[in-house]
Amino acid sequence: MVSGNWSGFTLVELLVVVVVIGILAAIAIPKFANLSEQARTQSCRHNLRSLAGALQMYYGSAGHYPYENQGHRWRNFSATEEYLQNWKKLRCPSCDTHYRYRITGRHYDNFRVRGWNRNCKNNHGMYRNGMPTW
């Protein structure tokens, strides 16, 4: 004689639970998939702010930007070492390249700092005249 007290789940109940979990995963995974790239972009923008601040401090103490009369070439931040000790360690987190700056303008009173080069696929932004352009 078989007792009518069965404990456990039916196959249909288990399938419903698996489908619900699958739907939740399909919604959640794309939202979190690009968080690491967003973090790299924000880190790059923070680095750009630090480097732009170092150039502004140099300008404040010297009255001009470094190498201002030597053409509109992209340069590294060796002249701002006094204001930004770890400029050599600051690299774009996405492409692992150094940052550079360029002094522009009719009176050499503008600067641009960029966080990418030809090898980098992501343009994380640029500072122009001390203001971010992203």
12-68 tens-digit pLDDT: 999 999 999 999 988 888 878 778 878 888 888 888 888 888 888 888 888 888 877
d(CA 117, CA 100): 9
Residue with structure tokens 């190498």?
A: 67
d(CA 27, CA 32): 10
Query: Per-residue pLDDT averaged across 79-84, rounded?
Result: 81
d(CA 9, CA 43): 49
Average pLDDT, rounded, for the chain: 79
Predicted confidence at residue 90, as pLDDT, reads 81
The three-class DSSP label of residue 38 is helix
Predicted confidence at residue 49, as pLDDT, reads 84
Specify the higher pLDDT residue, 126 or 84.
84
Specify the higher pLDDT residue, 115 or 100.
100
CA separation (Å) from 64 to 17, 23, 48, 126? 67, 59, 20, 20
Predicted confidence at residue 52, as pLDDT, reads 84
d(CA 57, CA 83): 7
Predicted confidence at residue 125, as pLDDT, reads 67
Predicted confidence at residue 30, as pLDDT, reads 80
Query: What residues are paired with 98 via a beta bridge?
Result: 91
Whether 85 shows a pLDDT value over 80: the answer reads no
Query: Per-residue pLDDT averaged across 99-104, rounded?
Result: 81
